[in-house]
Structure 1
Amino acid sequence: MRLRITTLAVTALMAGGFALASAPAQAAPGGTQAVAMAGGAITCHPEEDRAQAQRTKQAAQRARVAGRIAEANRLNAIANAYLQRAQQCEDAERNM
């Protein structure tokens, strides 16, 4: 019986804490996005990202030739991330 009461008390405290912690975020005015945007412009350089992707792909090819397949796969994934970021930057600039 004691265990049940303790468990119920802890559960109630956790639920109350969650409700109090999430209430300010839900009740925040719509201006929070403007504050986040006012923090500064995000700059991106798609040319540099594409150049870095090319260098990373070359390093991946060297690793593959040397027999380090896992490293080559990791470097290819990084190069693809650079290319994706460059594409996202270009898309964002087009949509502004």
Structure 2
Amino acid sequence: MMKKEKCESLEQVRENIDQIDQQLIDLIATRQFYVDQAVRFKRTKEDAQSPERVQQVIDKVRQKAFEVGTDPDLVESIYREMIQHFIQRELKEIRP
């Protein structure tokens, strides 16, 4: 987890937010890298959509959000959007 520090100015707050945004983008790109690899092991549309796996991920991230004191509904919303995007990306690879 990133170190949190009290800021002394709005500029300092914004600098920290910009750094976090860069890290989030880097992490999303890394997650996409692994999703792109997973498609090699999926043969059907159902393999890509896998509602059971989606729910497992959602349950896990909601619990982690709760544990660190952030809004589980926000985290779920972000993850559902990201997962849906990745599923659509996979489906393009699986379709003949």
Structure of higher CA gyration radius = 1
Query: TM above 0.5, one fold?
Result: no
Q: Which has the higher contact order (CA 8 A, sep 6+)?
A: 2
Task: Tell me the TM-score normalised to structure 2 length.
Answer: 0.33
Task: Tell me the TM-score normalised to structure 1 length.
Answer: 0.33
